[in-house]
Amino acid sequence: MPQTLSAPVLSINDLSSFLKRDFPQIGIGTDFIIEEVGPMTARLRLTYHSKHLRPGGTMSGPSMFALADVAIWVAIMAQIGEIPEVVTTNLNINFLRMPAPKDLLAQVRILKLGKRLAIGEAVITSEGSDAPVAHAIATYSVPPQR
Amino acid sequence: MPQTLSAPVLSINDLSSFLKRDFPQIGIGTDFIIEEVGPMTARLRLTYHSKHLRPGGTMSGPSMFALADVAIWVAIMAQIGEIPEVVTTNLNINFLRMPAPKDLLAQVRILKLGKRLAIGEAVITSEGSDAPVAHAIATYSVPPQR
Amino acid sequence: MPQTLSAPVLSINDLSSFLKRDFPQIGIGTDFIIEEVGPMTARLRLTYHSKHLRPGGTMSGPSMFALADVAIWVAIMAQIGEIPEVVTTNLNINFLRMPAPKDLLAQVRILKLGKRLAIGEAVITSEGSDAPVAHAIATYSVPPQR
Amino acid sequence: MPQTLSAPVLSINDLSSFLKRDFPQIGIGTDFIIEEVGPMTARLRLTYHSKHLRPGGTMSGPSMFALADVAIWVAIMAQIGEIPEVVTTNLNINFLRMPAPKDLLAQVRILKLGKRLAIGEAVITSEGSDAPVAHAIATYSVPPQR
């Protein structure tokens, strides 16, 4: 379905090093683990921590938002290289089920990778279950003359 | 991925008869063709007509919006039966590529089918191509005590 | 609230002439009337016609979608001039109430007018009532070197 | 514009006590301050802390998401009373400008307060500026027989 099947230009190791060095705040390797990158796809894990809980003991909306946003952004970086100026302009998230207090996984697919805009979706599931707990779709602005 | 793999309770013929009878304005059988229904899925076709064109000769945004909305709604009806009071409350659509002046296809997947809300997504492609031209996700309000 | 209070560069007459000439399909002057343009704002009317009805006799979702999309796009044209290459990339619409079979009005405010992206919102009301029937927010891609 | 001008049933003090008692994780009184509630409106502040920064030193997306979500939810509670079962089902956020490392303010307006769904919008600004840095619109599921 992706418009190109080009292999990613950055590996999991490349991405992890880049992000740890330039964006230590994101918490790659601790909060977030890059588990897989492929042509126009990626899978990231948010590791469980009690700080991610909302009232009621389920994983919070902001945690799912952050996972979706980081995961789609990483998938774009994998495809186009280290271009940290790529920024989120829109994110639409639907919360489908209350996620258990466990790791969350985001399976990303890039739907469009244009010269000025990239659009990707993330389906979030809870460790050990296939039922999606959230679905996000987001637009990123890509700087010119890359 | 759907939370239930229950077979639809309405067939393509059931749905087409119901919609032609109760909602002739939708244009089932003419503008829209129900091509497939399955557990939590459906595929609908918007047949090409020059009235669907936008300036520039590509298929218009309102046409893609209408296809996504009708297709997800039909997928919900297939699963829960003839409940015409189900109404759209939110629809988010991303336009990915300008679609050629051809039939459009919407592949629908229901992400949540709750007692009060149903959420589904539609990936729209152009006849003869796998590249998505639009992606929509929508929420529907489901009436109580059905 | 807009980042600039620059007056529009196109008047209602300019916009109507431009759109009738270059985009006759939109139906400016018949389906849609440009009622007001101001700094980062515009108001458009969708004139009632039975073709805009949905089952149940209320104004249809695709009609509200089309009104919101055209109205925000016109507000952008008013501000930046005749740049027909500006295209919608995302539109999120919430349906709030079933609109009576009457004219609809879209009050637009541009939230961001950047070099590459413009974002605007439209609040849709029904003729003679202040209660919003729909709310839309949309992103447009603006071509470079304008 | 709201469909009802009913005064809120909970005051700022009521809301703050309720949230501190039942939802200490939210951080009302520390991270978030309820500054104003009115008929179908509210204003909340996110107090600046370095933990809210993203790479580049501007306020992060998840912080703006959390502020919008909490602020709209508080506006709904103010209007309908202590009903903690109200949950977010959809949130669409547009990022308009990079916010300076300062407090953020969310001005909320409830667009629909129905028996089963509530929809509200939040315009987020940075302390000391009127230019919106983000705009969010969200849907909440309201439990039956309240």
Residues of chain D contacting residue C121, judged by C-beta atoms under 8 Å apart: 135
The reported pLDDT for the residue numbered B2 is 42
- According to DSSP, residue B28 is labeled B
Element (H, E) at B13: helix B12-22
User: How many CB atoms sit inside 10 A of residue D144's CB?
Assistant: 12
Q: How is residue D128 written in tokens?
A: 């000391």
Range list of β-strands (E), C32-131: 32-38, 41-46, 87-95, 104-113, 117-126
From the list B49, B30, B37, the residue with the least C-alpha distance to B11 is: B37
Per-residue pLDDT at D146 exceeds 60: no
What's the ipTM?
Answer: 0.93
Q: How confident is the model at residue D3 (pLDDT cuts 50, 70, 90)?
A: very low
**pLDDT surpasses 90 at B46:** yes
pTM: 0.94
Give me the amino acid identity at D117: L
DSSP, collapsed to helix, strand or coil, labels residue D40 as coil
Closest CA to B23 of B84, B66, B113: B84
pLDDT at C5: 63
Query: How would residue A130 be classed by pLDDT, with cut points 50, 70 and 90?
Result: very high
Q: How confident is the model at residue A84 (pLDDT cuts 50, 70, 90)?
A: confident
Cβ contact, residue pair A89, C139, below 8 Å: yes
Say how far residue B119 (Cα) sits from the centre of its chain.
12
Alpha helix stretches (DSSP H) within chain C: 12-22, 61-80
pLDDT, average across residues B50-64:
89
Whether D113 and C136 have beta carbons less than 8 Å apart is answered as no
Q: Is A50 exposed, middle or buried (0-12, 13-18, 19+ CB in 10 A)?
A: exposed
Number of CB pairs < 8 Å for B and C? 60
C114 close to C50: Cβ distance less than 8 angstroms: no
Which of the four pLDDT bands, split at 50, 70 and 90, describes residue C84?
confident
- The rounded distance, in Å, linking the Cα atoms of D118 and D111 is 8
pLDDT value, residue C1: 41
What average pLDDT does chain A have?
92
Tokens 């307060």 — which residue?
D113
* Residue B6, pLDDT score: 85
With H, G, I as helix, E, B as strand and everything else as coil, classify residue D67: helix
Task: Give the model confidence (pLDDT) of C86-137 as tens digits.
Answer: 999 999 999 999 999 999 999 999 999 998 999 999 999 999 999 999 999 9
What is the distance between the terminal CA atoms of chain C, rounded to a whole angstrom? 25
Q: What is the mean pLDDT of residues A95-107?
A: 97
Instruction: For residue B129, give how far its alpha carbon lies from the nearest alpha carbon of chain C (Å).
Output: 20
Q: Cβ of B1 and A139 within 8 Å?
A: no
pLDDT digits (tens, 9 = 90+) for D14-48: 999 999 998 888 888 899 999 999 999 999 999 99
Whole-angstrom CA distances from A84 to A15, A122, B101, C79, D55 are 11, 20, 37, 31, 9
* pLDDT tens digit sequence for C46-61: 999 988 888 788 999 9
Identity at B77, one-letter amino acid code: M
Between B145 and A100, residue with greater pLDDT: A100
Q: What is the pLDDT of residue B14?
A: 95
What does the pLDDT look like over B95-126, one tens digit per residue? 999 999 999 999 999 999 998 999 999 999 99
Which of the two residues, B56 and A3, has the higher pLDDT score? B56
Domains and CATH numbers, chain B: 12-141 (3.10.129.10)
Q: Does the CA dihedral A117-A140-D55-A77 come out positive or negative? A: negative
Separation CA B17–CA D19 (nearest Å): 51
- pLDDT at res. D79: 96
pLDDT of residue B42: 98
Answer whether D127's CB lies under 8 Å from D103's CB.
yes
For B144, which of D139, D141, D144 is closest by C-beta distance? D144
pLDDT tens digit sequence for B65-97: 999 999 999 999 999 999 988 999 999 999 999
Output the CA–CA distances (angstroms, integers) from residue D43 to C70, D33, D37, D117, D124, in the order listed.
Answer: 32, 9, 6, 21, 10
All residues of chain B having their beta carbon less than 8 Å from the beta carbon of residue A110 are none
Mean pLDDT within B3-12: 82
Chains with 3+ CB–CB pairs under 8 A to A are: B, C, D
Instruction: In whole angstroms, give the CA distance from residue D64 to residue C103.
Output: 36
d(CA B105, CA C132): 32
Residues 6+ apart with CB under 8 A from B102: B48, B59, B126, B127, B128
Give B-chain residues touching D116 at CB under 8 angstroms.
116, 141, 144
Minimum-distance CB partner of C90 among A90, A116, A144? A90
Query: In whole angstroms, how far apart are CA B80 and each of A101, B113, B114, D68, D91?
Result: 31, 9, 10, 34, 26
CA–CA separation, D139 vs A103, rounded Å? 26
d(CA C1, nearest CA chain D) in Å:
5
Which chain D residues contact residue A106 at CB under 8 A? none
Alpha carbon of residue A60 to chain centroid = 16
- For the cut 90, the answer to whether the pLDDT of residue D55 exceeds it is no
Inter-chain Cβ pairs, chain A and chain D, closer than 8 A: 62
**pLDDT higher at D53 or B92:** B92
**What angle separates helix A12-22 from helix A61-80, to the nearest 10 degrees?**
120
Assess whether pLDDT exceeds 90 at residue B53: no
At residue B145 the predicted structure's pLDDT band, cuts being 50, 70 and 90, is low
Q: What is the mean pLDDT of residues A98-105?
A: 96
State both tokens at B104. Answer: 């459009």
For residue B76, give the H/E element and its range.
helix B61-80
Tell me if residue C112 falls in helix, strand or coil. strand
User: C24 to each of A38, B99, C42, C83, C87, how far by Cα in Å?
Assistant: 45, 20, 20, 16, 17
Local structure of A131: helix, strand or coil: coil
Closest Cα of chain C to A10: distance in Å? 27
As a whole number of angstroms, the distance between CA B19 and CA A143 comes to 47
Task: Tell me whether residues B69 and C62 touch, CB distance under 8 A.
Answer: yes
pLDDT at residue B3 above 50?
A: no
Contacts with D24 (C-beta within 8 Å, 6 or more apart), sequence order: none
DSSP-derived secondary structure for A59-124 = B-HHHHHHHHHHHHHHHHHHHH-S-TT-EEEEEEEEE-SPPPSS-EEEEEEEEEE-SSEEEEEEEE
Average pLDDT in chain B: 92
List the single residue in B84, B91, B94 with the smallest CB-CB distance to C93. B91
Comparison of pLDDT for B113 and C25, the residue scoring more: B113
How confident is the model over D119-140, as a mean pLDDT? Answer: 97
8 Å CB contact between C12 and C37: yes
CB of C67 closer than 8 Å to CB of C46: yes
